[in-house]
Chain A
Amino acid sequence: AQTVTQSQPEMSVQEAETVTLSCTYDTSESDYYLFWYKQPPSRQMILVIRQEAYKQQNATENRFSVNFQKAAKSFSLKISDSQLGDAAMYFCAYSPFNTNAGKSTFGDGTTLTVKP
Chain B
Amino acid sequence: EPEVTQTPSHQVTQMGQEVILRCVPISNHLYFYWYRQILGQKVEFLVSFYNNEISEKSEIFDDQFSVERPDGSNFTLKIRSTKLEDSAMYFCASSEQTGPPHFGNGTRLTVT
**Which A residues form the contact surface with B (CB < 8 A)?**
33, 35, 37, 42-45, 47, 50, 91, 93, 95, 97-109
Contacts and interface: CB of A to CB of B under 8 A. Distances in A.
Given A45-B91, A106-B42, A108-B42, A101 B105 contact: no
Contact of B43 (A47, A91, A97, A99): A91
A106 to B, nearest CB: 4
A58 B95 CA distance: 23
Contacts of B89: 43
15 contacts: A35-B100, A37-B103, A45-B91, A45-B93, A45-B106, A50-B100, A99-B31, A99-B55, A99-B97, A101-B31, A102-B33, A102-B48, A104-B45, A106-B43, A108-B41
Given A43-B106, A103-B48, A98 B98 contact: yes
Chain B interface mostly? strand
Nearest to B106: A43
B44 A106 contact: yes
Chain A interface mostly? loop
Interface string B76-104: 00000000000001010111111111110
Given A44-B103, A45-B103, A47-B102, A102 B94 contact: yes
Interface size class of B (residues with CB under 8 A): 20 to 34
Contacts of A100: 31, 48, 50, 55-56
A91 B100 CA distance: 14
Nearest to A42: B105
Given A100-B48, A100-B55, 4 more contacts: A91-B43, A101-B97, A102-B94, A108-B42
Given A33-B100, A45-B103, A109-B42, A102 B55 contact: no
Contact of B101 (A43, A91, A102, A109): A102
Contacts of B48: 100, 102-103
Contacts of A44: 103, 105-106
Given A107-B42, A108-B42, A102 B99 contact: yes
